[in-house]
Each structure stands twice: as structure tokens, then as C-alpha cells.
Amino acid sequence: MSSRDRILGRVQRALADVPQDDTPYEQAIPRDYLREHGARRVAETVDLLAENLADYRALVHRCAAGELPTVIAGLLADRKATSVLVPPGLDEDWLAATEVTRVADRPESTPQELDRVDSVVTACAVAVAETGTIVLDGGPDQGRRRVTLVPDHHICVVRVPDQVVSSVPQALERLDPTRALTWISGPSATSDIELDRVEGVHGPRTLEVVLVESGSGPDDPC
């Protein structure tokens, strides 16, 4: 007998008490928890995102669409970055104001090569205000998972308010489970020394999030 059959057989015998007509999944789970916590105007949701990102030590910057290239160039300059990883589908305009050497993540690039790059600039798939989280789904403007992992400095651009949701349930609705997803809430951290949080272990130790107002008016009514 294969172990698969053995385990499934054990499970079935263990569940002899469960009736054939046991409550189906749809009715077994009460879904009376909230879809989001509190009522907020769109602008307030964006403010909450900025606040929660900063609370977990991400550096938050806000700007209008036209200012984005200058802001990114400034962040790279402040960091004294000489090279920046660029996902294949990143909007070329975003890096229009910087002279820093662009590095592409080719399939044959080794992790050691990526480790020599100073910074990485990406977009994101969605951002969650209540938890201060950005989610990457490996889209062309975000690149492979490793590009946002190995360099020590990650600049992530969030288009607000379009890419911002309030809550975790709303974020999951927007995401495609077949893609490799990375949820990021602040820079790498640990609670392993005396259960107290310290920032900066293996992932990027500096996370900068740029909230860029997408085209239309910044303060649309809810």
C-alpha cells in the first residue's frame, strides 16, 4: 500500500463520526467579520496607508505624477547609489531624471551579481492601508521576486488611490493566486532577541515607498 493510500485511509477511519450530509463549506463558515475596519474617505485611506507604513519604519514619500522622476532621482542620490536594478516593464519615465547605471535582471544573472547592485525600483500590485502592506505579484513593472530581495535598498512606487485598498480581505480579492506573491510590511525585521522588534536582517534594510497621485485630482470625494 502506498503511503498516500495509507494516510487517506487513516483519515477516513478517523472521521467515521462525520455524517455524510455534514454542513457544506458554504454554510459552515460564518462570514460576519468586517470587510474593512471603519469608514474612511479615499484620501483618508491613503493617509492611513502612509501612517502604517511609517509605523513599521518604511520611509514614505508623496508626490504628484509629474514629480516622480525627480523624487526617485533624489532618493537614489541621497543613498549614493551607483547602480539600480530595473524590472523589464518599469515605466522608463520614472528613471528619466537619474544618471545611475541601470542593471537588468537577466535569467542568467547570479544572486552574487544582484548583491552588488545598490538599489531597486519597482511598482506594486496593491497596497493595504490597514496593515501598511505593499504586495508584489511579479508583474513586468515589478520583476522576479529576487530583485526586491537581494539589494539592500528598495524603492516601491504605489499609484494612489487606484492601487490602495483598505483591508486584507479586499487585497486578496484583487490578487491572482496563480502568481508568486510577496507581501511586504516595512523593512526586514526580527523579534528573535528578547521578543522585541529590530529592523534590518536579510531583506532590504531600507524600504522607501513613494505614493504617487495618479493623474486626476488628489482629493476626490468618496
Residues 7-46 that bind another protein (CB under 8 A): 7-15, 17-18, 22-23, 25, 28-34, 37
Between 45 and 98, name the residue whose CB sits nearer to another protein: 45
Between 72 and 184, name the residue whose CB sits nearer to another protein: 184
Q: Nearest distance from residue 157's CB to another protein, in Å?
A: 19
Q: Nearest distance from residue 117's CB to another protein, in Å?
A: 13
Q: Nearest distance from residue 131's CB to another protein, in Å?
A: 4
Site for another protein in 43-62 (CB under 8 A): 52, 56
Instruction: Report the distance separating Cα 170 and Cα 159, nearest Å.
Output: 17
Between 63 and 149, name the residue whose CB sits nearer to another protein: 149
Between strands 189-193 and 196-199, the pairing is antiparallel
Cell of 124: 506594486
Among residues 211, 213, 198, 205, the alpha carbon closest in space to that of 60 is found at 211
Q: Nearest distance from residue 42's CB to another protein, in Å?
A: 20
Q: Nearest distance from residue 89's CB to another protein, in Å?
A: 14
Instruction: Report the distance separating Cα 200 and Cα 71, nearest Å.
Output: 24
What type of residue sits at position 98? T
At 74 the three-state DSSP class reads helix
Contacts of 209 (CB under 8 A, 6+ apart): 53, 58, 59, 60, 61, 127, 134, 155, 156, 157, 158
Site for another protein in 126-155 (CB under 8 A): 128, 130-133, 138, 144-146, 149-150
The helix or strand, by DSSP H or E, that contains position 27, with its residue range, turns out to be helix 25-28
Q: Nearest distance from residue 77's CB to another protein, in Å?
A: 25
**Contact flags string 107-126 toward another protein, x per CB under 8 A:** x--xxx--x-----------
Site for another protein in 157-216 (CB under 8 A): 168-169, 172, 177-204
The DSSP 8-state label assigned to residue 81 in this structure reads -
